[in-house]
Amino acid sequence: MPSNRRLTIPALIAATCLSFGLAGCSSANSTDTPNEQSQSAQNGDASAQFTDKAGIEQEYRESLGKLEFPAGYTPPETMDNLTADQYEKGFGDTRASFVWECAWKRDWLDTYGTNLDEAKKALQQLQTAKDMPYMQGNKVDDVMRQALQEQLDKAALGDPSAIQQDVEVNCPADWQ
């Protein structure tokens, strides 16, 4: 029985690490600094899934550079409230995508009653969200994808209520 106990504890620890994906359980050496872990990920080490503040800010800025925003809109240059030492890779891209989504939703709200061409463009942009990485797989659940579709369906009928509510709840004022 004592030998079973020795096998059970390591197995439990390994299962916990796999289930939760904790930073402390990453494959990076415990002596690696966050910058070294980030560099390891950039050099193709797929098991290095975390980066530091500078790395996640860089990912955010690179993602912003790939996105089209409404005319006259300037997204925040940096992410706000970064307090952790490490971040999961992809967090910067997801944040940039949410900033993008909020910008186009606000653009639609500002134009649906006055500039039909711009409002149509905003809805076309928002339709592409469903194919973007931040809306795929385990990034968001089906309920969130359905909620976006319902917002877009109502907006296509000229009903601003769903998009208005989402903007009020999920789009910080500093993303305007």
The per-residue pLDDT for range 125-174, each reduced to its tens digit, is 999 999 999 999 888 899 999 999 999 999 999 999 999 999 999 999 98
pLDDT score recorded for residue 97: 97
**Number of alpha carbons in the 13 Å side-chain half-sphere of residue 74:** 2
CB atoms within 10 A of CB 141: 9
The per-residue pLDDT for range 49-77, each reduced to its tens digit, is 999 999 999 999 999 999 999 999 999 99
Average pLDDT of span 66-95: 95
CB atoms within 10 A of CB 88: 15
